A and B are shown apart, each in its own frame.
Chain A
Amino acid sequence: MSDPVRIDLPLNRATARSLRAGQVVELFGEMYTARDAAHRRLIELIDSGGELPVDLTDITIYYVGPSPAPRGAPIGSAGPTSSYRMDPYSPLLIARGQTGMIGKGPRGEGVLAAMREYGAVYFAAVGGAAALIARTIKSYEVVAYDDLGAEALARITVEGFPCVVAQDSVGGDLYKRPK
């Protein structure tokens, strides 16, 4: 396998647009964690015109609900959760600035359309490779929704987070199987 492509976060629209399905990448820098519950709250805030706890411009969100951090570690095991559960929420977040998403499994047509329109990319991480991925997470800090426990909205710093571009902004899609 050719060496992974290094990507520094935050991810701007131009870089997001340049990525192609099939590229194996390693991410460096800051991103956020959230699952369905935190997504729902963000969308409710947008709908009601409230102030968001994070600036969505160029952010990447990792769909994860980590296991508890053992003493001395920033985070417990932290593999991706199924992304389709975020499909109802992602298009609006992409329209508001989000450029990167990380999870497992394919995204629906609504998300893919928003990715094409605004320039965003979907990375797949290896589900169940949770101890391996946790090693690349250097810090974990809850930003909002502490009451959601493992599902809180948190800011994390990663070094060499392994994933692959699964669906890109020009219709490239690793989940499309040759018939």
Chain B
Amino acid sequence: MKEIQFDAIVAAVRQMCIRGCTLADPRLLELLAAARRGEDNELADTILGQIEENARIAAGGGDESQRRPLCQDTGLAVFFVETGSDVRIVGGELTDAINRGVAQGYRDGYLRKSVVGDPVRRANTGDNTPAIVHLRLVSGDGLRIRYAAKGGGSENMSRIAMLKPADGIEGVKDFVVNAVAEAGGNPCPPLVVGVGIGGDFEQCAILAKESLFRPLGDPSGDEFYAGVESELLGRINSLGIGPMGLGGSTTALAVHVLTAACHIASLPVAVNLNCHSSRHEEVRL
């Protein structure tokens, strides 16, 4: 049995929230720079330039006290956690530790508290908790915590459908492209498009969300789906939506597909959009 202290988890989560919301993913910046080189719409290029400049300002020029959130919507805190069966958390429960870390991170990092405790009565909880936590038990003695700050603008444009198996991969592709087309400028393109295929209703949505955690721009390990990703990226970027929906060829920077087994009668597909403020962090304890 390996013991992990409750407080160590709190500290790690606090740090992930602050880092994730203020430091742009270097891979995202690479993809942005590459997109700019291929963009011949002047306004689109200006906007992409502002996004790059924003990342520099948010990073505070290397001075930690000058760091600022990349986006004011620092999102719901979403976690994918894998805990080894040989791990014992000492001093409290895992979910409590994550929530405490979120509360501390969002307070100390001057991050916006964007959670209401009830979906209809809508009182803000004041500390950005509760977080959404997807927990998995795995073998071994590791604890892996992945965090995403998921803003409302892009999350609200997510779509799910239970297609017929006969719709096949072409039906899946059309659904994804339509979801992006309908979202237009609202989810703050350029996007990272997360696609879940298979599983059941809720697993499919989780796949779409989890796919966004893949290192940005890495293709699927399955050659067939890597091909689907690159075809989708091409189709999405020829929609003409462009950065912020104001026109151009840079609508998405990457498409990530994640799949799972499903029922013989089903072909679920889910699209979870991430804005260019793609904020993901990972720690292993």
Binding site for B on A (CB under 8 A): 1, 22, 24, 64-70, 76-79, 81-82, 84, 104-106, 124, 126-132, 134-135, 149-150, 162, 164, 166, 174-175, 177-178
Binding stretch for chain A, among B39-47, B167-175, B258-266? B39-47
Contact status A150-B184, CB under 8 Å? no
Give the chain A neighbours of B130 by CB distance below 8 A. Answer: none
- List, sorted by A's number, 19 A–B pairs whose CB atoms are closer than 8 Å: A1-B42, A66-B112, A68-B111, A70-B110, A76-B68, A76-B110, A76-B112, A81-B73, A104-B153, A106-B184, A106-B245, A127-B275, A128-B54, A131-B70, A134-B68, A150-B72, A174-B246, A175-B245, A177-B241
Contact status B275-A67, CB under 8 Å? no
Binding site for A on B (CB under 8 A): 42-43, 45-47, 50-51, 53-54, 57-58, 68-74, 110-113, 124, 153, 156, 184-186, 188, 239-241, 243-247, 275-277
Contact status B112-A150, CB under 8 Å? yes
The B interface is mostly helix, strand or loop, or mixed, namely loop
Minimum-distance CB pairs A-B, first 6: A127-B188, A67-B112, A131-B58, A132-B54, A105-B186, A131-B68
Give the chain A neighbours of B53 by CB distance below 8 A. Answer: 129, 132
The A interface is mostly helix, strand or loop, or mixed, namely loop
Give the chain A neighbours of B186 by CB distance below 8 A. Answer: 82, 84, 104-105
Cα distance, A168 to B124, chains bound together (Å):
36
- A-B contact sample (12 more), CB < 8 A, given A79-B72, A104-B185: A67-B112, A77-B70, A79-B73, A105-B245, A126-B243, A128-B276, A130-B71, A149-B113, A150-B72, A175-B185, A175-B245, A177-B241
Contact status B112-A68, CB under 8 Å? yes
Contact status B50-A126, CB under 8 Å? yes
Least CB distance from B218 to A in Å reads 22
Give the chain A neighbours of B244 by CB distance below 8 A. Answer: 104-105, 124, 126-127
Give the chain A neighbours of B110 by CB distance below 8 A. Answer: 67-70, 76
Closest residue on chain B to residue A24 by CB atoms? B46
Across the interface, B54 reaches (CB within 8 A) one of A1, A84, A131, namely A131
Cα distance, A110 to B239, chains bound together (Å):
26
Cα distance, A128 to B45, chains bound together (Å):
16
Least CB distance from B106 to A in Å reads 9
Most chain A beta carbons < 10 A, residue from B45, B68, B276: B68
